[in-house]
Structure 1
Amino acid sequence: MASIHQLLVPVDGSPTSTKALDAAIELARLNGAHVRLFHVIDELDHVNGFETPKAYREDLLPLMRAGGERMLAQMRRRVTDQGLMCDSVLVESGTGRVCEQVAEEARLAHADMIVLGSHGRRGLARMLMGSDAEQIVRHAPVPVLVVKG
């Protein structure tokens, strides 16, 4: 089995992504690996059609960026408090789907594995809500550990 030196952990601040982070911390501890947290400000999750483009750019986007930075800082502390090395990347979704951005970050970071949480939706809920985890698994250039919430 290949060694694990770099873990990429896509996070969104949910209990499910926190559970995945805990699994990544354990893997990092066992392998002496570095943890990179990755958060995408997914604009489509917040656009409702009522904001003007100017209000979105000047009001909503800075709030989403600040919230993402706070969340990443808290999660970095969770990792470094365990004596592990950790950094983080925050990106705005812009063009491309979240799954593509995670795959690209895995390549750029030379990740050996992606660790992510999944809500485990099935049936109608999965059809309506989609599955980011499933799409990340499909696009990932490295093995993926999916931690069910």
Structure 2
Amino acid sequence: MFKRILVATDGSTLSKKAVTSAIALASRHDADLVALTVVPRYPKSYFDGAMSFSPEDIARVEKQWADKAQGMLDAVATRAVASGVQLKTAIASSDLVAESIVAAAKKHKCDLIVMASHGRKGIKRLLLGSETQHVLTHSSLPVLVLR
């Protein structure tokens, strides 16, 4: 039924459950899996929410974030390979999480997006508007939301 599934993860407990379900679904359907995490951009000015820092400091912090994201995706890769699932990983650097998820699904020609109902931001995120809800309303692909 599905040929390529995108799973979005942020390392939260709930998104790890979504990864587990996505791997099982990909294995069941003999589908490829694309694991995506979105790393925020570092605020570069006061108007972006932080004081101004040197380019070296910004590069160091962004590298730390990217390394952490890669470690998270490496863990997904280990689990996928153990299940016999073909996996491609991707890191998007953007403050627009939902848009990045939808764009990655299109770029990788996925036919399903799997994600958690909420991530690290939990109830606070519900008050501000859910990335999951944004993906649901802006994706032309089916979205499987796990709780």
**Take 1:51 and 1:13, find their aligned partners in 2: how far apart are those partners?**
28
Name the residue aligned to 1:77: 78
What is the root-mean-square deviation in Å for CA atoms of aligned residues?
2.2
Name the residue aligned to 1:54: 55
**Take 2:42 and 2:115, find their aligned partners in 1: how far apart are those partners?**
20
Greater CA drift, 70-79 or 111-120: 111-120
Contact 1:115 1:147 in 2 (8 A): yes
Q: SS of 1:61's equivalent?
A: helix
Identity %: 26
Name the residue aligned to 2:126: 126
Aligned residue among 18, 22, 25 for 2:23? 25
**Take 1:4 and 1:125, find their aligned partners in 2: how far apart are those partners?**
30
Paired residues for 1:1-149 under 5 Å: 3-43=1-41, 49-50=50-51, 52=53, 54-93=55-94, 97-119=96-118, 126-128=126-128, 130-148=129-147
Number of aligned residues: 141
Q: 1:101 to 1:119 in 2, by over 3 A?
A: closer
Contact 2:99 2:135 in 1 (8 A): yes
1:85-124 CA distances to partner (integer Å, 9 max, x unpaired)? 1110112116xx21111111111111110000123966x7
* Alpha-carbon offset, residue 63 of structure 1: 0.5
* Alpha-carbon offset, residue 54 of structure 1: 2.0
**Take 1:63 and 1:5, find their aligned partners in 2: how far apart are those partners?**
33
* Alpha-carbon offset, residue 58 of structure 1: 2.2
Q: SS of 1:28's equivalent?
A: helix
* Alpha-carbon offset, residue 55 of structure 1: 4.8
**Take 2:14 and 2:67, find their aligned partners in 1: how far apart are those partners?**
21
